Amino acid sequence: MRALNLELTAFGPYRQQQQIDFTDLGEEPIFLITGPTGAGKTTIFDAICYSLYGKASGTDRDQDGFRSHFANVSELTSVRFTFELHHKTYRVIRSPKQQKPKARGEGCTEEAASASLYLYNQE
């Protein structure tokens, strides 16, 4: 599998949408994610694992903790991960169970967790 792009919205410590374009790394088969403590390195792995498996990359975190504490109720948590496998390109979009504003009236309602997998047309 080759990671191509990762988009996080209201995920972990990131309130606003964050995007990582792995294609900037070129054709290198291995790369290093580095930074100071608390920079969000583990969040990148959690987002990839969550998009693929619905779980965090480690056992000390659960999916209830994926939603950013900084996000307001109108900002929905989601992860979009695009990757290549056997010369085919896929995108996974996953969102945890979360509260969202009601369409009518005041208050919130619970939105169920969702996951979608897309295969891009290959020519």
For residue range 31-71, list pLDDT tens digits in order: 889 999 988 888 899 999 999 998 877 766 665 678 888 88
Please list the residues that pair with 116 across neighbouring strands: 93
The average confidence (pLDDT) of the chain is 88
pLDDT of residue 41: 87
| Single pTM value for the model | 0.86
Q: Cα separation of 12 and 43, whole Å?
A: 6
Cα pseudo-dihedral 78, 91, 32, 19, rounded to 10: -50
pLDDT of residue 115: 95
